[in-house]
Structure 1
């Protein structure tokens, strides 16, 4: 792979992937391009800066000149950069469409013109929409329900069209709900853990019957690396295999791990356009690339909760203005580690 550009590499999943990639002997250089908005934090990369392989660039994927400059120097791209929170997409839909569709196009078009050898476009199971029964396969229609999922679905289609039209060697991955250390506290697991650690209450939407598959971030990163190395261009790969839970079942596990009880839970009206159930068939990546998730759910959540106990300085400031863009870090346009 030699030199890999990772867009959105200071985000939750992206930063875990960067640390994994830096351990590979056949990777000579990893460059992170991240705008450091609300979900991207330089601290997420942490010890990765000890590696001489890492270069960090603060910038936006909509900056075509910057993207061209970086793509030209790399043999592969893993594209994580995206607006990623459902609730935010209700009142910032334009930003989601701009970043997730036009930004994806900027990256793909640079790859087309400059001859990138491999691209992985990272997406989500939410593009399939709610399934009352069965499991979505990669070939199933996309039926997104909310602006976030719609913007990701559109980005997926742009990526796949670049393979069909121009032969750009791009693969798409779609993962189920990720969790793990360093996740922004607006997501349900870190939100509930941090509120309980502060002695507060947590809010469960509706009757707590929404079903999601919970996958440790390291298992997702394992799948993404397999696709980067051996995925067939033009193909889509579902990355699942975690644990299916209703939101009430998930809450029960978090309460137990945090030493709290149901008195800490309050029920609130269901979230707008809240899909009842996501479910994917991930047999394709298992059979073709040897993917197998290894992190047990309760161990993973316990490890995650312990990280939040040990690192209040990382998440407490984010609770003050959870929807405000981050302005905590000011870096030069390009900084090498």
Structure 2
């Protein structure tokens, strides 16, 4: 028996949110997908939902910044998986105000509505960017938080709001902290899709920003399993839990690995537009995922070098399918 009845997923139209919505439906959950209202009547990636999922979830179109719409979407729900957020770091440099409205105020709207409606559980989505450049590795949940971009600062604020509602009002909320998730449907601005799409176009060089920073890449199927394990575990309430592969690799080595898998000898070239301000670049991320295994029974299927390559192969296959890539404008860096 499922621990919750109806589940609200905010940000269900996005990369991780759409995969999560589909997985929940397949596991028998009653899902209400909160998507961003727009004049095109688009449900984002849910427009492309597979046949076994299509028609088996409810859609609520609204805006996470509107407290009344958020409360209306949450009525009758037993739990909330809150993923709606602005995530592009470069965009946060010139439009930080909208990150505060969306990421912090939007989270406050979710928390207030959940408290008023006595929702059984809220899963709030964080990001590994809140840690900034690692002060020690692997990064556990006790690592200091460092806002190195307006985006990461807005997520730190949202995380602390969520935890404050647990401590102040007893709201059953926990903070899930995925490291760098990749896979089908990710934004083409993200590093792995931008490498794949440049190589797919036959380029002899890959335009990148800094190649020395390291990341802990997590395949989207693992991230989704992490969300569901977090939702279903009573031990996640009031906690911050990393979801990461516990494998560190540089951007440059990632690019060379993708090139090898795509049978390309392309060189790496620096694109000045992709370089973050010096003190804003997060130089090192490497997840300690022991807490996830201990508290919620999660560990990655796509672990280590072999796991990363398996996930990259699936991602390459998806991004090199013409019907998928036509949905992207791949020339933009913001």
| 1:308 aligned onto 2:303 | no
Q: 252, 257, 265: which is aligned to 1:248?
A: 252
Structure 2: how far apart are the matches of 1:227 and 1:45? 26
Which structure is higher in RCO with an 8 Å CA cutoff and minimum separation 6?
Answer: 1
Q: 1:211 to 1:236 in 2, by over 3 A?
A: same
Matched residue, 1:160:
163
Matched residue, 2:293:
286
Unaligned runs of 5+ in 2: none
Matched residue, 1:114:
117
What is the TM-score normalised by the length of structure 1? Answer: 0.88
Matched residue, 1:318:
329
Asked if structure 2 preserves the Cα contact closer than 8 Å seen for 1:215 and 1:243, the reply is no
Matched residue, 2:21:
18
> 5 Å matches for 1:51-62?
51-62=54-65
Structure 1: how far apart are the matches of 2:228 and 2:243? 11
> 5 Å matches for 1:217-256?
217-230=220-233, 231-256=235-260
Structure 1: how far apart are the matches of 2:55 and 2:219? 27
Unaligned runs of 5+ in 1: 324-337
Q: Deviations over 1:37-59 (max 9, x none)?
A: 8x972456521674443011221
Helix, strand or coil for the counterpart of 2:315? helix
Asked if structure 2 preserves the Cα contact closer than 8 Å seen for 1:79 and 1:122, the reply is yes
Asked if structure 2 preserves the Cα contact closer than 8 Å seen for 1:156 and 1:172, the reply is yes
| 1:32 aligned onto 2:33 | yes
Q: 1:8 to 1:287 in 2, by over 3 A?
A: same
Deviation of residue 260 (structure 1)? 1.4
Q: Deviations over 1:3-53 (max 9, x none)?
A: 00000011001111111111123x2x201112168x972456521674443
Superposition RMSD on alpha carbons, in Å? 2.1
Helix, strand or coil for the counterpart of 2:212? coil
Deviation of residue 194 (structure 1)? 0.8
What is the TM-score normalised by the length of structure 2? Answer: 0.89
Asked if structure 2 preserves the Cα contact closer than 8 Å seen for 1:36 and 1:42, the reply is no
Deviation of residue 308 (structure 1)? 1.1
Structure 2: how far apart are the matches of 1:184 and 1:36? 19
Count of equivalent residues:
318
Q: 1:205 to 1:319 in 2, by over 3 A?
A: closer
